[in-house]
Chains A and B, each alone.
Chain A
Amino acid sequence: MIHWIIAPVVIPALMAPFIVLAARYHLGIQRVFSVAGVLALIAVAAGLMWQASDGTVTLYQLGDWAAPFGIVLVGDKLSTMMVLLTSVLALFVLLYAIGSGWDDRGRHFHALYQFQLMGIMGAFLTGDLFNLFVFFEVLLIASYGLMIHSGGNARLRAGVQYVLFNLLGSTLFLFALGSIYAETGTLNMADLAQRVALIDPAETVGIRVAAVLLLLVFAIKAALVPLHFWLPSSYAEAPAPVAALFAIMTKVGAYAIIRVYTIVFHPDLEITAGLHETWLMPAALVSLAIGMVGVLAAKELNRLVAYSVIGSMGMVMISISLLTPVSIAAALYYIVHSTLAAGALFLISDLVRTGRRDLMLTPQPPVAGGTVTAMMFFAAAIAMAGLPPLSGFLGKLLVMNAAFDAQGVAWIWAVILISSLISVVGFARAGSVVFWKCRSIEPDPEAPEPTTPTVLSYAAVGGLLALLVAHTVFAGPVHRYTSGIAAELFAPDTYISTVLETPGKLSKPKEGH
């Protein structure tokens, strides 16, 4: 058994207590170890992705107990890609936090950051639904700490809302897991896939309720309208690097939906047929529309970015709810794009804030280093709004192409195109107010000299933007890879047989007895 697959969980799990216990009062050492940990994560994640790229499904049985009795970690193409995406985003966000001094404005930033990564990695790698719940809680409790990092009343109030909403989501998750266990007697995803298919068609009430409950839970994580109310305040009030890292958290919800609704409640399953097109699709369309209208209506730059996250999740969910191999490939391409773009936009809004009183979209004196910041905002806004030439445009084309044969294609195309227009207007208005109208304002002579963001901050944002450009330039290979992932998801036999047929220590013949 190869142990590398548990490394993305173990590395941050060891790094975080080390930072808290040994390097408590030494910010320099904390920074070094935190960055080293994330670099190690990237290396391991790249290795895992290379290993999974030929279709191998890597299985890790914790304690050597065979599934479904023990908990398993499974590394297939989808989970390893998400792990790599998380660790790459984490590196740039961490560099920004160091460059901008955010990690110095409160205590234990680096330790919480590592715990957060541990939870996200675990959620991507686990093959067991209850374990998914546990890793959700790990990432949530770390995110509560990060969310209120460096304090402030507005942030604490937003933190209370965020924690309460997520506690409610966790409770709902437990209700869903309880009903699934009561109906099937297992929580291992591969085992569930087999047992759900065996349920008597006359007695499917319980499992259908469970499937909808589970969808609700993941929709809360993915901030799908009408379950999105926790997102705008908490993402806008969270420290910028934390909000940028949270860009991956909504994708955890999207990932969980893709995983569970292709393996367990797969599209051919009669008992949950129609769930995605009847319920998920309209909610996704409304999400996209509301998110982009929110972009236009936002009064503050960070709220604008938060609403654009909701809109881009709507786009992802439209693609997921079509639930065909083509649409899942498009959704995965768009997930990578929107994670990078949202992360970059949150960091840019913090660059803007360093030179301004606040982030209200009102004309204020020019921000320090405004030219570079403005160019970065321009690039990131183009990507997020989905204009050519950046990857948002390609992602949108892929989603629209996937929707071409679907029912209600007119609705889908209309919502996507009109909401794109709205978001372009919203971003253009915000950019021109923040970066252009400032020229007409006389700077206040008594105002303190604005501080210019450090080179490292710019480098971190530039890195994310460079990744977006690379995501556009190498769109062909990336899309081929996501198509491969989708093909693997829609033929889950390898996954199921690897998980269920690998013997553990209980099934080995006893030697020497």
Chain B
Amino acid sequence: MELLVASAIGVLTAGGIYLMLRLRTFPVILGISLLTYAVNVFLFASGRLTVGAPPILQKGVETYTDPLPQALVLTAIVISFGMTAVVVMIALGAYLGSDDDHVDDPADPTSEGGRDAT
């Protein structure tokens, strides 16, 4: 169980970082998504791995799982989902506007045709 969770986090993080270092926005966004999956699983594991135990106080139960990481993960999932949606929209706008989806600055920013004065 521990090995499975730990290696899942590791593989997701490694894949995420590799994709994040790419030059174009689409792989970078995928990489960021993989990283957020990794961090969600990591947050889950931060309350220790307990299987089949309730998170809420009940009569006659001795072992509980920590409820707080679940709340943290829920918040983190919602936030990362929203953020990914925002970055997809902005990246799409930038791609459609300048017909180029590289993440880095253009080599000569002043020669770019679409640059406006506002």
Bound-complex Cα distance A151 to B112 (A):
15
Within 51-81 of B, Cβ neighbours of A (below 8 Å) are at 68-69, 72, 75-76, 79-80
Contact pattern, A 156-178, Cβ under 8 Å of B = 1, otherwise 0 = 11011101100110110011011
Bound-complex Cα distance A181 to B91 (A):
34
Known contacts A157-B105, A171-B32; A134/B75 CB under 8 A: yes
User: Is B91 a contact of A178 with CB atoms below 8 Å?
Assistant: no
Contacts of B82 in A (CB 8 A): 141
Query: Is A182 at the interface (CB under 8 A from chain B)?
Result: yes
Contact pattern, A 123-167, Cβ under 8 Å of B = 1, otherwise 0 = 000000010001001001100100010111110110111011001
User: Is B114 a contact of A144 with CB atoms below 8 Å?
Assistant: no
User: Is B32 a contact of A153 with CB atoms below 8 Å?
Assistant: no
User: Is B109 a contact of A156 with CB atoms below 8 Å?
Assistant: no
Which B-chain residue is minimally distant from A233 (CB atoms)?
Answer: B105
* Interface majority SS (helix, strand, loop, mixed), chain B: helix
Contacts of A357 in B (CB 8 A): 117
Bound-complex Cα distance A174 to B117 (A):
39
By size class, the interface of chain A is: 35 or more
* Interface majority SS (helix, strand, loop, mixed), chain A: helix
- Name the distance in Å between B101's Cβ and chain A's nearest Cβ: 9
Instruction: Work out how many contacts link A and B, with CB atoms closer than 8 A.
Output: 115
Contact of A174 among B20, B39, B91 (CB under 8 A): B39
User: Is A153 a contact of B35 with CB atoms below 8 Å?
Assistant: no
Query: Is A259 at the interface (CB under 8 A from chain B)?
Result: no
User: Is B39 a contact of A153 with CB atoms below 8 Å?
Assistant: no
Known contacts A157-B98, A159-B90; A170/B83 CB under 8 A: yes
Bound-complex Cα distance A164 to B72 (A):
22
Known contacts A134-B75, A357-B117; A167/B93 CB under 8 A: no
Query: Is A358 at the interface (CB under 8 A from chain B)?
Result: yes
User: Is A163 a contact of B39 with CB atoms below 8 Å?
Assistant: no
User: Is A141 a contact of B117 with CB atoms below 8 Å?
Assistant: no
User: Is B90 a contact of A182 with CB atoms below 8 Å?
Assistant: no
Bound-complex Cα distance A170 to B38 (A):
13
Instruction: Give B residues with C-beta under 8 Å from A.
Output: 20, 25, 28-29, 32, 35-36, 39, 42-43, 45-48, 68-69, 72, 75-76, 79-80, 82-84, 86-87, 90-91, 93-94, 97-98, 103-106, 109-110, 112, 114-118
